[in-house]
Amino acid sequence: MRIGIVGTRERNTEQDFQIVSQAFSTVVEDYAGRKGANSGHPLDDIELVSGGCPTGADRFAERIAREWQLPITIFYAGWARHGKGAGFLRNEQIVKRANVLIACVAVGRKGGTEDTIRRFQRIHPGGKLSLV
């Protein structure tokens, strides 16, 4: 399972981290329950996917990867190369790689996180999406 963790840079507190971390734990527990007791360690085939921003949910994803000792794939935006469209290209890469998405949304529900959510719903209709 590849879990994308994305979100606004506005939510960058320890409380926000705890909310995202709890959502991640819930996804992992649900997944482990579906795998069954005899199918190996529940973390063996879990990878995190994120966008590499130094604040907000991207930073939380890297922290969770360290704490849980999980691999993480980071898609950096490449602003210098792609200009204003870099964020949208990165969002597309994230949702193509992830098959579960945890999104730490902004109060106003606009911006890059919302773009990522829309892309995820288009590529993975009915896919596991957790908005926190």
Tens place of pLDDT per residue across the chain (132 aa)? 999 999 999 999 999 999 999 999 999 998 887 755 556 566 789 999 999 999 999 999 999 999 999 999 999 999 999 999 999 999 999 999 999 999 999 988 778 899 999 999 999 999 999 999
**What are the start-end ranges of the E strands in the chain?**
2-7, 47-50, 72-74, 100-104, 128-131
What is the pTM (predicted TM-score) of this model? 0.91
DSSP state of 55: S
Query: Facing residues of 100 across strands?
Result: 3, 128
What secondary structure, in 3-state letters, does 26-62 show?
HHHHHHHHHHCCCCCCCCCCCEEEECCCCCHHHHHHH
